[in-house]
Structure 1
Amino acid sequence: MGSARSSHGSRCRLALGVLLAWPLLAAATVDRLHEGVNLGVRFEAYSPLARTRELFARSLNPLGERRALARYAQRRLEVPEYTVDLAEEEFAVFVPKAPPPPQGYGLLVYVAPWQQATVPRRWQGVFERTGIIYVSAARSGNPEPELPRRMALALHGYGNIVARYHIDAERVYVGGFSGGARIAEVLALAYPDVFHGAVLDGSSDRIGTPLALLPPPHLLELAQQRLRLVYVYGADDSYNAAQARYSMQSAATWCLPPTYRLVMAGRGHEPADAPTLLRALRLQEPAHEPAPPAATCRARHARQLHDEVAAVDAMLAAGERDAASTALRALDAAWAQSAGDDIRRLADALHYQ
């Protein structure tokens, strides 16, 4: 289950390939949940967080979002409200047997690299000790499209759990292993208003690149205030150890709270053992030390963005449209939705398709 690398462009193409062919959706029935392991769960409620336009706005860069919506318009198609039919989807859910903590259960939304919806036996005691509900979708493994399935299913799983249980909003986390960890990282950045932390087990990407895009300004500021990333990997997994270091460095560059690294001695590329998962979840607790102020860091980025946008404006004013278009694509790749308003304005001026 290697963490195959994919470009943001391929993410967009896969999303469009699925979405353009998707029919209107019907509601599903929901199975009764009980304490302990629940397999084959079918949910009925669609989460507004996973609406197609919401996914586009949070998870594609501005030029990618522009191209996606333009393709619907060119084909005279309505953008589908959602990207999956929940009547056809199954989830695995673990509900602790012990009563919930006073503030409510915690919640771990898990993105697996495999296709089955499972609750690993060795983790069940961890969820009991921490009072955390676990939810994971089937047919959400590495072969599946990222935005229309893996991300959407995770958000629908989240929405249905919070609708059924008293959940402590400050203890809602996203996690995954291998390729699923990469999706968890994207979700954490795109939805910091939902997820207070992420457990990135065995894979990660540099933040502020096409593989881990920056969200809109208000969400980026929220991530900088409270999003805690915990990186887990085996000591013998040299490739993903290096990737974790690069990702942690990029998190600091983009003013996110301090990150944490848990290394499993004598392990390779394999999911976290129970003690490591417990430590990773404990590091996410709200009682942990607050993030340091990021105002100085944000001001530095604001100046840098101002200068880069001004450079593209100057190219446009000088009639250097080819150079401006090239610079705009670079701006879009680096800053993504955090510079969305400027990128859309410049794209309009260049009649960018």
Structure 2
Amino acid sequence: MAGVAFAASASDVSQGVIDQVVFTQYGSASSSPELMRRLVTPLNAWRLQQHAASAGTAIVDQAIDLTRERFALYVPPQAPPDGYALLVFVPPWNEARVPGEWTSILDRHGMIFVTAANIGNDTSLLDRRDPVALLAAVNVMARYRVNPQRVYIGGFSGGSRVALRLALGYPDLFHGALLEAGSDPVGRAVPLPPQALLEQFQTGTRIVYFTGQQDPARMDVDRQSRHSLHDWCIDDVDLRTIPATGHDLAGATALDRALTSLETHHPPDANRLDACRAQIASELEQALGTVEAALARNDIATAQRDLDELDQRFGGLAAPRSVELAARLLQAAPPSH
């Protein structure tokens, strides 16, 4: 990503478990405009901007004050020759802690682990969980010698759902997602990013689901999420179960196998990918045409309903045409009283 420093800083940076870490660097990735462009459907982003303009308020560029944030790190004692791997971990809880059982596995994979305080399930996505996770990546990559091709996002339970969202929106930063016991269908619950980012995700991102065998509700959602990825031409996916485990954080053996899978990238079949993309493009054109037709016959209610449906399904793929249609609908709508 532009503006992210990948080089190491001083050679005497700390190793092992490091608590109460304060970071200082910001980046464009965590800015509010970039978060909205990548993680919010175009119509919802447009409406947020319209609302702010009508209220006479400005959307802040960076929602996070890093002086108030605390992070926890684990840095293996031996850096791989090509640089560390990095796993940014989004938890469902609010404390920043490194799972003790995981450190030997992180050593084996030459992988730095970073997490943050106060980004649990009870906190805001766009205002906290998303930007804090991104800032964790930016700062670790500035402080340590990290291989940019081995940067991953992961999480547990509700944090895993955030990880999927960030992986999809930031495939130029994260090259894989480790989803433990939490996921969502892509294209509805998780908005699609702009076309260039989705295409990068389709070809360069590895997704590993791993959920306890005794957690059937999450296993079922994983299957639905996996199916949705296939619908959007994403097939570099591994769906794993953890034996004799419920809705619990993975142990060392399961983590080791999942990380090995995460770093085993399988390029897509070019012919199948081209055919899949062409099918999506055709369906998008048809959906846009349906809105255009309703607008042409001045059926504003139908046009608005169909446009909202299009925005939810296709997200960033439909921009900027979806936003242009929304503006036309706003002009065509009768004045409210």
**Bin for the TM-score computed over the shorter chain:** over 0.9
> How far 1:133 moved relative to its partner?
0.6
SS at match of 2:319: helix
**Contact 2:242 / 2:254 at 8 angstroms: preserved in 1?**
yes
In structure 1, C-alpha distance between the alignment counterparts of 2:127 and 2:257, rounded to whole Å? 32
**Contact 2:13 / 2:143 at 8 angstroms: preserved in 1?**
no
Q: Which runs of 5+ in 1 are unaligned?
A: 1-31
Alignment correspondent of 1:256: 234
Counterpart check, 1:297 vs 2:279 = no
TM-score by length of 2: 0.92
Matched letter for residue 292 of structure 1: D
In structure 1, C-alpha distance between the alignment counterparts of 2:268 and 2:146, rounded to whole Å? 23
In structure 2, C-alpha distance between the alignment counterparts of 1:187 and 1:77, rounded to whole Å? 27
What does residue range 52-63 of structure 1 map to in structure 2 within 5 Å?
A: 52-63=32-43
- Quick check: 297-306 or 73-82, which moved more? 73-82
In structure 2, C-alpha distance between the alignment counterparts of 1:334 and 1:192, rounded to whole Å? 20
In structure 2, C-alpha distance between the alignment counterparts of 1:291 and 1:195, rounded to whole Å? 18
> How far 1:288 moved relative to its partner?
3.5
> How far 1:259 moved relative to its partner?
1.0
> How far 1:47 moved relative to its partner?
2.1
Percent identity (aligned): 38
In structure 2, C-alpha distance between the alignment counterparts of 1:304 and 1:231, rounded to whole Å? 28
> How far 1:81 moved relative to its partner?
1.1
SS at match of 2:262: coil
> How far 1:314 moved relative to its partner?
0.8
Counterpart check, 1:41 vs 2:21 = yes
Give the length in aligned residue pairs. 319
**Contact 2:13 / 2:144 at 8 angstroms: preserved in 1?**
no
> How far 1:258 moved relative to its partner?
2.7
2:150 to 150, 153, 171: 171
> How far 1:33 moved relative to its partner?
5.0
Alignment correspondent of 2:3: none
What does residue range 182-261 of structure 1 map to in structure 2 within 5 Å?
A: 182-209=161-188, 211-261=189-239
1:328 to 307, 323, 335: 307
In structure 1, C-alpha distance between the alignment counterparts of 2:219 and 2:15, rounded to whole Å? 36
Counterpart check, 1:86 vs 2:66 = yes
Counterpart check, 1:273 vs 2:235 = no
1:67 to 47, 54, 73: 47
Query: 1:135-184, CA deviations, whole angstroms, 9 ceiling, x for partnerless residues?
Result: 10100000100111001000000000111111111111000000000000
SS at match of 1:351: helix
Alignment correspondent of 1:103: 82
SS at match of 1:290: coil
Q: Which runs of 5+ in 2 are unaligned?
A: 1-11
In structure 2, C-alpha distance between the alignment counterparts of 1:304 and 1:320, rounded to whole Å? 22
In structure 1, C-alpha distance between the alignment counterparts of 2:211 and 2:262, rounded to whole Å? 17
RMSD: 1.3
Query: 1:162-210, CA deviations, whole angstroms, 9 ceiling, x for partnerless residues?
Result: 111111111110000000000000000000111110001001000111x
**Contact 1:214 / 1:220 at 8 angstroms: preserved in 2?**
yes
In structure 2, C-alpha distance between the alignment counterparts of 1:135 and 1:250, rounded to whole Å? 29
**Contact 1:203 / 1:240 at 8 angstroms: preserved in 2?**
yes
> How far 1:265 moved relative to its partner?
1.2
Counterpart check, 1:148 vs 2:101 = no
Query: 1:232-262, CA deviations, whole angstroms, 9 ceiling, x for partnerless residues?
Result: 1111101000000001111111001331012
2:103 to 102, 120, 124: 124
**Contact 2:236 / 2:265 at 8 angstroms: preserved in 1?**
no
**Contact 1:227 / 1:257 at 8 angstroms: preserved in 2?**
no
Alignment correspondent of 1:13: none
Alignment correspondent of 2:9: none
Query: 1:35-60, CA deviations, whole angstroms, 9 ceiling, x for partnerless residues?
Result: 10000000011121000111111111
In structure 2, C-alpha distance between the alignment counterparts of 1:226 and 1:156, rounded to whole Å? 22
In structure 2, C-alpha distance between the alignment counterparts of 1:54 and 1:289, rounded to whole Å? 29
In structure 2, C-alpha distance between the alignment counterparts of 1:337 and 1:62, rounded to whole Å? 6
Alignment correspondent of 1:284: 262
Matched letter for residue 239 of structure 1: A
Counterpart check, 1:160 vs 2:136 = no
